[in-house]
Amino acid sequence: MLETTRTYVARITNHTQIRDNLDECGFAASKLWNVGRYYIQERWDEDGEIPDEAELK
């Protein structure tokens, strides 16, 4: 299966107007990452296997 990864670059010109919203999105993403990592670590400690992506979704 062929997998493609793309990176997009953008410039924010009204940073002062959207700074708080961007901070909230970053905080939410950090929380989701931490919950996922915690869950994976728990599974790893219990049965020595990392859950597949379907289980994490």
User: pLDDT tens digits, residue range 29-44?
Assistant: 999 999 999 999 999 8
pLDDT, residue 35, reads: 93
Gap between the Cα atoms of 26 and 21, Å rounded: 9
Q: Give the contacts of 56 (CB within 8 A, at least 6 positions apart).
A: 36, 39, 40
Q: How far apart are CA 28 and CA 23, in angstroms?
A: 9
pTM above 0.85, yes or no: no
Extract the residue ranges of the chain whose pLDDT is less than 50. none
